[in-house]
Structure formats: C-alpha cells, structure tokens
Amino acid sequence: MSAGWLRACALVILGLFSVSALAKDKTAIVIGGGLSGLTAAYELQNKGWQVTLLEAKPSLGGRSGMATSEWIGNDKTQPVLNKYVSTFKLGTTPAPEFVRTPSYLIDGVYYSAADLAIKDPTTAEALKRYEKTVDDLARSIEDPQNPAANNTLHALDQINVSNWLDRLTLPATARQLINQQIRTRYDEPSRLSLLYFAQQSRVYLGVSDRDLRASRLLGGSPVLAQAFVKQLKTIKTSSPVSAIVQDKDGVTVKVGSVNYQADYVVVAVPLRALNKISLTPALDAQHLGAIKGTNYGWRDQIMLKFKTPVWESKARMSGEIYSNTGLGMLWVEPALKGGANVVINLSGDNARVMQAFGDKQMADQVLIRLHAFYPQARGSFTGYEIRRYSTDPSMGGAYLAFGPGQISKYWRLWERPLQRVAFAGEHTDTLYPGTLEGALRTGQRAASQVEDLAAGKSFEPAKVVPVAAAAAAGAVAAKKGNFFTNLFGGGDDEKKPEPVKAPAPVAPAAPTPAPVPTPAPAPVETPKPAAPVKAEPAKKAPVKKPAAKTEAKKAPAKAPAKKAEPAKKPAAKPAATTETKAQ
C-alpha cells in the first residue's frame, strides 16, 4: 500500500471521527418546561442535539391546562398543535355544537346568543354593531406581522381600547359584556393597546368560533405536555435558573451552585421570570425595558366543585359564558370524577383586585356571588382549586397583552437570538401570543434558530416597527376613510383623516396603574371580603398537579431511563452526564 493511499485513508478516518465528535458535541440547554420549552427540546433532540431541559417547578407543562376544560382549534386554526396531537396520537373528543359559540349570564340569567336576540334585542344589536366595528378595525391592518405599517396604524398604538370603546356609545349591558370578553382574552381594555387589539382581531378575522373550539384533548392540555415529556431524555425539574453566562466557546447556565454548560441555550420563560435571571453579557436597554414594561394580561382561575350542577341545565358544558357582574367568564365543564365543576375566570382588574385575598377568601367571594344566582350553590359545594398565574413569580401574568405604546417599542424583539441564546414562549409569537399554538410555534422557531446559529448564521437586528411614509398612511386611511374618520372623532365621511396627530390626547397607560373599576360596579371588586359562606365551608381540595408531572415521574423515556444524577455536579456538560428523566 502506498504512503499516499495510507495518508488518504488516515485523512478520511480523521474526517469521520471529527464529524462524529462534532455531532456528539451539539449540546443545548432549554430553560423552562412549558409547552414552548418542551417543543424546543423535542425538536432539537430529534435533530440529534443532546438537550437538557431545566424547569424551575417540580412539575412540567407551565401555564397549559388547569383541568379538562380547554377546547382546542382544528387544524385550520391551530395547525402546529394539531400536528403534535397526531404525531403523539393523542385522543380528542369533538366539541358539541352548543359549546362553539359564547353565551351570557346577564344579572344571573343565562342566555345563549339566540336567546339574547329574542329576549334582549338592544344588547344583541349592540354586540353585533361592536363586532362589525372590530372587523372594520381589523381590516385596516393588511399585514398582521407588521401592524404598524404606516403612521395611522402606528398612532393606534398610542390609544387604549377603553377610549376607543367609549366612542361606540354602547348600552351599559353590552359594554359590560364586551369589557368582560376583552379582559378575558387579553387584559383590561384600559390597559390594552388599540393596535394590538386590532392586530389580534386581524389574525382572527373570518375565523369562526366553531373552528377555534372544535375539540378537546382527552385529559385536557396537560396530556400534550406529558407526551413531550415522554420523549425527552434529560429533564431536570425543581431547577430554577439564576444566571446565563455566554462566552465565545459556549454558555454556562447556573442553577444555584450547579453549572450546566452547552453550546446554545433556548430561554423559554415568560418575561417576568426572565427578569430574575442574570445575563452576561448584559441585555441592552431595549430588552431590559421590554422585560420590565411589557404588559401581561391578568387571569386567575377558580374551579368550584359541586355535588350536582346548580346552574341551569342548558348552560351545561357551554364554551364561554360572559357575565356582566363580578363573576368574569365562566366555563361549565364535565367533572371527570363525578359532581359538576364550574371554572370562573377572573381577569383584568377584577383579578388584580383579588390579589389581596387569600385562596379560601377568593373562593368564598366567588361562591357568594354564584349563590346569589343559584340558591342551591352553597349546599352542593364540595371544594375548589385555584390557579393564580399573575402572582406566580415563574409566570407573572396570564399572557402577553401589549399596552399602549409597546408595539412601537418592542415588536418582534424576542424573535432575534442574542449570540448563543434564542428565545421562545407565547410572548415571542407574532400571530398567536397567549395560546398553546403560539407557544408551540415559538419552540419550533427557537429550535431551528439554534440549528442556524450552529451552522454559522447570524441574525440581523430586528427591525422595529418601520413607520412608512405619510403618503402610505394617507392611502390606507383614505381607503378606510369612514372607519378612521370615526375612530379619530370626525363626523365627515368625506373628510381626509389626519393620520398622525389625531390620537395624541390619549396617554399611554402607566405600567401598573391603580385598578380601574368596570363600568357597572361588579361585586368582586368590593375591596372588603363579604362574610364567608357558613353553611358549607370551603374544603380545600389539593390543587391538581399538572399530569405532566406524574408522567415525568412514571413514564419511561424512549431511551431507557437511567437513574438521574442529582443536579449537583458543577460545570456538568449535559452531553457528558447520565442524567435522564426528571425524578
């Protein structure tokens, strides 16, 4: 064999070795075990990365799914979610027709949409008028990925939704129901940017409620988290990350005194939680401002359990019931273990006010209100569960809800990786923030960005809200002349709007203004607790742990689960450890 031939063979072998060494060295850490982090970890692992997922809490799944109550969209409206549902072969049950449209609880009386049209046509008509105006507003946005495409639209970011609603002069009941719907889906109208509301309305324009509430995962959305957990090889629960240090060779992630090292990191925690993680090199002023200032909607959930349904039978299993009183949005759901459950969603400033109450007081307050409408409530009450997303330091809110002026400052900020760190989480999705779909999409996006970074791609700084020439604004405004003229207070349909200066009087909301009462004083907003329910005191049922946790404990990973090494080893490079499933 010639020396040249031998040298060639040696080079080939060396080449193969270094390729496999490189493949082995592809390590990533994912911080946060909500659906976005689980998705990022799953996608990276599927692409051959050695991934360690670090979750602060003892359980996985984050904000997804309190119980069995969430309805999910079909593949037209939530394609990514549906893809995973079919990949993991998860069972679903179709939504009955009557849960697919919202209904109402007006002063304690239940109305379906059809009932309302007959029994309270004034409110029904006003709701229709409102919906048409929202559609017009939505149509003013051509590209929901770039909502502030011109000065007129940019100006909408300075207005809050409450001021805009005032101009519609709606009858009191309709306004209360609309406020309730907006604060449930986003946040208090007074804290919400009109541009964000318009952009989200554009995303869902023409999407039917039927497609959005098409089916339910058997077992609720925790089973989705559980399915990801089953696939992942290395998960560390009860591991709150305190610091991320990047240098030219890699990233060190600190959990207490334990260091983990990897080539890249996906940060999949909400902004308030990110605020507690120190980053080196430090973030710039814009990112720091976004972490502290971006508005999150408030929505807490109280599940009241009863021996038998105490509400009208036709309200049973309705999708969303908007109450015009302090009961917020109710969701009657089938109780899997017998009895009957109603989930009460307190949102916006009603939830903020309830912050002062302990769990039992909060359940009592809600039960008292329900009892006023349904007199069997106290006698049939068996217990409650509460989930407070807004005061949980790992979450700090229910979901992203841009306040006035915030799209202008922070639009798409977190879509761009910073050196070796990519960001995921519902708050980083342009189209579907605040949803499971949004969380899953961002996990996929972050995983592919890590691949891109490893391949040497650099990410350009995000373009922050290009405000197009005034001419463009004029063109859009002229096209939508009536709508904008009305919006900015003019009465002349033919008059050309002045796009930039008109909305000036509306000041952006302060970061944490005092709670704003709902138009008609809602009982829940009473600062003092009412007398506790005496007949049957609330028995505190243990708060249900997301099923993902149980799964993390018992489900064997596909690769046989070796006993997890305690998360103690300093500078443990995940690739080199034998850590497997969360224990």
* Contact set with ligand FAD (CB under 6 A): 31-37, 54-57, 62-64, 70, 240-241, 268-270, 273, 277, 299, 301, 389, 394-395, 398-399, 425-426, 434-439
**Looking at beta carbons only, is 398 or 447 nearer to ligand FAD?**
398
Three-state SS annotation for 213-275 = CCEEECCCCHHHHHHHHHHCCCEECCCCCCEEEECCCCEEEEECCEEEEECEEEECCCHHHHC
State which amino acid sits at residue 151: N
Q: CA–CA separation, 553 vs 563, rounded Å?
A: 12
Least distance CB 288 / ligand FAD (angstroms): 17
- Pick the closer one to ligand FAD by CB: 132 or 292: 292
The span from the CA of 50 to the CA of 28, in Å, is: 6
Cβ proximity to ligand FAD: between 160 and 301 the closer is: 301
Between CA 319 and CA 332 the distance in angstroms is: 7
Which residue number, 381 or 399, has a Cβ lying nearer to ligand FAD?
A: 399
Query: What is the closest distance, in whole angstroms, from the C-beta atom of residue 436 to ligand FAD in the complex?
Result: 4
Residue 72 CB, shortest distance to ligand FAD, in Å, is 7
**Angle, alpha carbons 201-297-323 (nearest 5°):** 75
Nearer Cβ to ligand FAD (69/173): 69
- Shortest distance (Å) from residue 169 CB to ligand FAD: 31
In the complex, the smallest distance separating the C-beta of residue 63 from ligand FAD, rounded to whole angstroms, is 4
Distance CA 563, CA 428 (A): 35
**Residue type for 88, please?**
F
- Which tokens in the block code for residue 261? 């090292």
C-beta of 170 vs 398, nearer to ligand FAD: 398
* Residue indicated by tokens 């970890």: 41
Q: How far is the CB of 148 from ligand FAD (least distance, A)?
A: 23
Distance CA 499, CA 248 (A): 47
How near is the Cβ of 37 to ligand FAD at its closest, in Å?
6
CB of 175 to ligand FAD, least distance (A): 23
Please, which residue, 33 or 497, has the CB nearer to ligand FAD? 33
| Least distance CB 248 / ligand FAD (angstroms) | 24
Q: In the complex, what is the shortest distance from the CB of residue 517 to ligand FAD, in angstroms, rounded to a whole number? A: 22
Min dist. Cβ of residue 548 to ligand FAD (A): 9
> DSSP class of residue 540?
B
The residue with tokens 């249900």 is 544
Asked if 60 and 229 count as a contact pair (C-beta separation under 8 A), the reply is yes
H helical segments located in 333-480? 348-353, 359-373, 377-380, 406-410, 436-454, 470-479
Of 35 and 473, the one with the shorter C-beta distance to ligand FAD is: 35
Question: Closer to ligand FAD at the Cβ: 334 or 532?
Answer: 334
Residue with tokens 């829940």: 524
What gap in Å lies between CA 581 and CA 562, rounded to an integer?
A: 8
Please tell me whether the peptide bond between 281 and the residue prior to it is cis, using omega within 30 degrees of 0. Answer: yes
Those residues with Cβ within 8 angstroms of residue 318's Cβ, 6 or more apart along the chain or in another chain: 98, 99, 103, 112, 331, 332
The CA-based angle 332-217-310, given to 5 degrees, is 15
How far is 442 from 35, CA to CA, in rounded Å? Answer: 9
Q: Which of residues 62 and 417 has its CB atom nearest to ligand FAD in the complex? A: 62
- HEC states along 50-87? EEEEECCCCCCECCCCCCCCCCECCCCCCHHHHHHHHH
Cβ closer to ligand FAD: 298 or 488? 298
Q: Tell the burial category of 292 from Cβ atoms under 10 Å away from its Cβ (0-12, 13-18, 19+).
A: exposed
Which CB, 241 or 450, lies closer to ligand FAD?
Answer: 241
Amino acid at 30: V
CB of 55 to ligand FAD, least distance (A): 5
Q: Residue 576 Cβ, how far from ligand FAD at the closest point, in Å?
A: 21
Closer by beta carbon to ligand FAD, 148 or else 229: 229
Query: At its nearest, how many Å lie between ligand FAD and the CB of residue 506?
Result: 28
Considering the complex, state which of residue 539 and residue 568 has its C-beta at the smaller distance from ligand FAD.
Answer: 568
Separation of first and last alpha carbons in the chain:
55
Task: Please return the burial class of 454, using the count of CB atoms within 10 Å of its CB with bins 0-12, 13-18 and 19+.
Answer: middle
